Amino acid sequence: MSKSFHCFPLPRCYIRFIRKVNEKKGADGQDEIRKAFDFMLGYVGADMASGPVWMEYITFLKSLPAQTAQEESIRMTAIRKTYQKAIITPTHHVEQLWREYENFENSVSRQLAKGLVSEYQPKYNSARAVYREQKKYVDEIDYNMLAVPPTGSFKEEQQWMAWKRFLTFEKGNPQRIDSVSSNKRIIFTYEQCLMYLYHYQDVWYDYATWHAKSGSIDSAIKVFQRALKALPDSDTLKYAYAELEESRGAIQPARKIYESLLGDGVNATALAHIQFIRFLRRNEGVEAARKYFLDARKSPDCSYHVYVAYALIAFCLDKDSKIAHNIFEAGLKRFMHEPVYILEYADFLSRLNDERNIRALFERALSSLPPEESVEVWKRYIQFEQTYGDLASMLKVEQRRKEALSRTGEDGASALESSLQDVVSRYSFMDLWPCSSKDLDHLARQEWLAKNINKKAEKSAVSNGPATLDKIPAGLASNSNVSGKVIYPDTSQTVIYDPRQKLEAGIPPSTTASGFKAASNPLSNPIGLAPNVFDEVLKATPPALISFLANLPVVEGPAPNVDIVLSICLQSDVPVGKTGKSGTTQTPMLSGPATSDLSGSSRSRPVPSGSSFKTRDRQSGKRKDRDRQEEDETATVQSQPLPRDVFRIRQIQKSRAAATTSQTGSVSYGSALSGDLSGSTT
């Protein structure tokens, strides 16, 4: 961020002007220039950008003529003091000033320089460390910002926070210097801040209170006076200023501030009346406060707040309950329509334990208040009956409340019904409840749903599309705010997706080449092919493959587990058929239990009914041909159910393959997919 102020154009301009005016006046002119430098550095010498001004001052002092040894000594002393002030000030040029100071001391006396340099070395190190830390805060500040009233923009808030951080840093006295010097830097930082945050009342207040806490009340008063000139409409600053004056015993100045808040008395706010009554009661006594109240209540702008405030003052401070009761009664004639005033009056009567008048007050108020404004009064009435009344009066008031409030809403009938919330309300006390917090949340949710059930029904009917609008009463349909141009989805057809659910839609009815009806096939059109194209694909698909695909489960993801698929394949009853000479596909064979030993003898071999397969002649021991052997092998069935574990299946297959080498004759095994076993022995 650019920092025009940190370039010091105005102070340096001032110095150039003073030097030009006094440069030809000799010694007197030099004294004026020196005073101008001291004056300016007294105000801006603590700034980080004041390094060039310090250097210019030192250069000016070095240029002064010295005719005698005494003048030379005075000049050298002035230069040394200026250097020593500059090197302990955190500025951008602190390191350069330190080098120049070392050279200066060494040029005067090396022996003296050693002691002075070692003395100021820690102070310089502290100033340099503080400068590096301070620079982080200064870099966040925009010194080109204009002093305008706050608008709430993000940039203004950032600058306000940056100045707050910088002020907090300075108040912490990071350099650990003496309190006078530290306060001087804090004052300079506040003055700098107010150049940009001039219209921020909190900055003025912080500045004044810091002065007051530091023990400088007069400075705090001056800050408040400046603040009220900058922000003349700030009532908050006026109250803070009056509080400061009253706290130090200056009653008359404080009274003048309160009177400025009241103005001419016609347009005075209720708060101004109340605060002035309290001020008078604190400092001038009961009669002064009562006299002002009697005058203030005649004002047309006097609200019920003034009555409540003065009644409480009379009751709590003056200990006069009779006057307080009379004030509340006088206000009731004027503010019967104010529910808040009714509740304050009821609280006052509760303090008096005046049960009879409390009931009378509630009855009078509820008879005059409209139902929509009496909700809080009914609530307080029920609480009163729960404390002072019996069960019958408590239930009676609750029922009356329901009847009164049922006329204010559309859900009048449901409002008259008793609910569990009523029981919870009756039997709770302070933060103790007759149920758990979870139950409370559930009951609150149910209450909300009960109140909005009609609205939700109307909304769902509208969202279901135009067809459902005919079923809605005309009154509800006319009150809906749904635009005809907006098309809503039919959410009534929404189905929750479950990947474990199998597809149950049938194939379009058509006959495949195998004679199966497509409608009985559990496959569907998964990729959106045209119906005729999908039928052609099914016609060309073997029935065994269709049955296999139908047994596959729906699996999440594009890559199913291979072992699971193989396990399903090995356990599936895949129908096997053979095409005869006529070209028709044979019906699937039915498998049954069969036993077979590894020697090749077969005790039992069930065959399908109507089969065209022929059995081999066991006594001849000759094979007809290789094709006939394959037909016999496919005609066998599983000897026993195979295990589900894939690894176990593979182990059984390996053991069967190894057994063939030790058997006499020849043994052939069926397909591993079907698990069929066939054997012949020679």
Average pLDDT value for residue range 171-188: 93
Altogether, the residues listed in the chain come to a count of 682
| Mean per-residue pLDDT of the chain | 77
Burial 623-651 (b: 16+ CB within 10 A, else e): eeeeeebebbbbbbbbeeebeeebeebee
Structure confidence by residue, pLDDT tens digits, 140-173: 999 989 999 999 999 999 999 999 999 999 999 9
Rounded CA gap, 347 and 471, in Å? 52
pLDDT for position 23:
84
Structure confidence by residue, pLDDT tens digits, 608-635: 444 433 344 444 444 445 454 444 444 4
**Residue 495 pLDDT greater than 70, yes or no:** no
pLDDT for position 171:
95
Closest-CA residue to 156 (of 183, 116, 196)? 196
- Asked: is 1-139 a CATH 1.25.40.10 domain? The reply is yes
Q: What's the pLDDT band for 537 if we cut at 50, 70, 90? A: confident
Read off the amino acid at residue 483: S
DSSP per-residue string spanning 344-408: HHHHHHHHHT-HHHHHHHHHHHHHHS-GGG-HHHHHHHHHHHHHHS-HHHHHHHHHHHHHHHHTT
pLDDT for position 560:
65
Query: Tokens 């220039």 — which residue?
Result: 33
Q: Any idea where the domains of the chain sit in the sequence?
A: 1-139, 352-437
Q: Classify the C-alpha dihedral 523-526-531-532 as positive or negative.
A: negative
95-104: long-range contacts (C-beta < 8 A, 24 or more apart)?
Answer: 95/128, 96/51, 96/55, 97/51, 97/54, 97/55, 98/124, 98/128, 100/55, 100/58, 104/79, 104/80
Rounded CA gap, 193 and 168, in Å? 12
Asked if 408 and 378 count as a contact pair (C-beta separation under 8 A), the reply is no
CA-to-CA dists, residue 89 to 81, 85, 92, 181, 621, angstroms: 13, 7, 10, 11, 120
pLDDT for position 563:
73
Q: Pick the range with the lowest mean pLDDT from 200-209, 252-261, 335-344, 611-620.
A: 611-620
Structure confidence by residue, pLDDT tens digits, 49-83: 899 999 999 999 999 888 888 888 999 999 999 99
- What is the number of other CB atoms lying within 10 angstroms of the CB of residue 214? 14
Counting beta carbons within 10 angstroms of the beta carbon of residue 411, is it exposed (0 to 12), middle (13 to 18) or buried (19 or more)?
middle
Counting beta carbons within 10 angstroms of the beta carbon of residue 115, is it exposed (0 to 12), middle (13 to 18) or buried (19 or more)?
exposed
